[in-house]
Amino acid sequence: MKRALLLALAILSLVLLGCPPKEGGTSSAGNEILVGEYASMSGPQATFGQTTHEGITLAVEEINAAGGINGRKIKILLEDDQSKQIEAANVVTKLISQSNVVAVLGEVASSCSIAAGPICQNYKVPMITPSSTNPEVTRKGDYVFRMCFVDSYQGENQANFAANYLHAKKAAVLVDVKSDYSTGLSEFFQGRFKELGGTIVANVSYANGDSDFKAQLTRVKAANPDILYVPGYYTDIGQIAIQARDLGMTQPLVGGDGWESPKLIEIGGKALEGCYYSNHYFADDPAPAVRDFVTKYTVRFKQKPGALAALGYDATKVLANALKRCAKIDGPTLRDEIAKTKDYAGVTGTITLGPDRNPIGKKLVVVEIKNGQLALAATIDPNAPATGATATTGSGK
């Protein structure tokens, strides 16, 4: 009886505290370093997880082929969170407490990163999100890092673009109330757009996964905006564009990085012609680092890499470099080494992490959907003087 009680208590404390991390998160099979990845491999944001995973895979293959981490190979343990916050929290707990991973890569959607960040923080296991842009993500604690710009920057630059390049004076905003990313980004956009003298003529909401947007769009149409600002995810965007055109609306839709998906144009088709979204990189960029990555990725996966693949690749390389510098691989040591990341020449730009664990001065691009393809409309590089038809100079249409 007493023994049974003790056993139950021991199991309970294991569940509550997690297993003490073994040095190096070594796999029982051998000498590999175990890294967790949690991703939306299925569900409404499935391409986010799938393309990020390909970027991570390519990076790991390169790192291991070049000798790994001081002779030890990296092994990625992938968990599908089905695009759900609750699952994100569950699988991250499992990766840390059962598989003993030394670090966690993920998620893409900010709401999922916000759900799992505190878990990594509690266990003192560093987490790097390649692509979650909501400011709250890295505020969950000093073990949480990101590789991408934040939404204050993205939303403000989108407002600059709308006002200066598209000469929009009236904007309607359609927000996904289920997503921290969408609600946050829309606030930053609206704040800046109003500062620039613009007016928000309609502000309507929907919930990720809705399929009928006609009621909201009818209200938007009545307000007669110059543009529709829609900071959502690709599946909804495609539907919103189609239904807006069905209602006879011809205004451009403008959105953020959440549009990025090989499925976007497949879903939205012609309805998306002349629409714009901001992104982290442009696959046809002539920069040597981008060309090199695009070539390697295309050989390996037979398709052009999107921004998520590039960010997943950069996140993995930054993690590997920090691992190589660790005198001893444990959570606190690895955390400190990731925090020291400086001037890393990534595919998505030079990565230097600031004291808030966000990269400093990352570039943003605006792409236009033109003839069913992505075309570069503007580049905003905080480290370089504005050139050409950049968003902020207003030399556009």
Contact residues: ligand PHE, CB under 6 A:
48, 108-110, 131-134, 181, 257-258, 260, 307-308
C-beta closer to ligand PHE: residue 60 or 237: 237
Q: Minimum distance from CB of 107 to ligand PHE (Å)? A: 8
Q: Return the amino acid letter for 205.
A: S
C-beta closer to ligand PHE: residue 27 or 134: 134
Q: Minimum distance from CB of 267 to ligand PHE (Å)? A: 14
Q: Minimum distance from CB of 192 to ligand PHE (Å)? A: 18
C-beta closer to ligand PHE: residue 13 or 373: 373
C-beta closer to ligand PHE: residue 198 or 258: 258
Q: Minimum distance from CB of 118 to ligand PHE (Å)? A: 17
Q: Other CB atoms closer than 10 Å to residue 298's CB: what's the count?
A: 13
C-beta closer to ligand PHE: residue 85 or 133: 133
Q: Return the amino acid letter for 59.
A: A
C-beta closer to ligand PHE: residue 109 or 163: 109
Q: Minimum distance from CB of 280 to ligand PHE (Å)? A: 6
233 vs 251: CA distance, rounded Å: 19
Both tokens of residue 371?
């003839």
C-beta closer to ligand PHE: residue 48 or 143: 48
141 vs 275: CA distance, rounded Å: 37
C-beta closer to ligand PHE: residue 34 or 137: 137
Q: Minimum distance from CB of 281 to ligand PHE (Å)? A: 10
> Is 255:229 a contact under the CB 8 Å cutoff?
yes
378 vs 397: CA distance, rounded Å: 12
Both tokens of residue 61?
């293959």
CA atoms within 13 A on the CB side of 295: 7
> Is 128:334 a contact under the CB 8 Å cutoff?
no
Q: Minimum distance from CB of 257 to ligand PHE (Å)? A: 4
Residue 350 Rama label (left phi>0; alpha psi -120 to 50; beta): beta
Both tokens of residue 69?
């981490």
> Is 82:40 a contact under the CB 8 Å cutoff?
yes
Q: What ranges in 105-160 are assigned the alpha helix state H?
A: 110-123, 151-160
224 vs 37: CA distance, rounded Å: 44
Strands, DSSP E only, in the chain? 33-39, 74-80, 103-105, 127-129, 144-146, 170-176, 199-206, 227-229, 253-255, 276-279, 344-346, 349-351, 364-370, 373-380
Q: Minimum distance from CB of 314 to ligand PHE (Å)? A: 12
C-beta closer to ligand PHE: residue 111 or 164: 111
Q: Minimum distance from CB of 59 to ligand PHE (Å)? A: 17
Residues 6+ apart with CB under 8 A from 285: 291, 365, 376
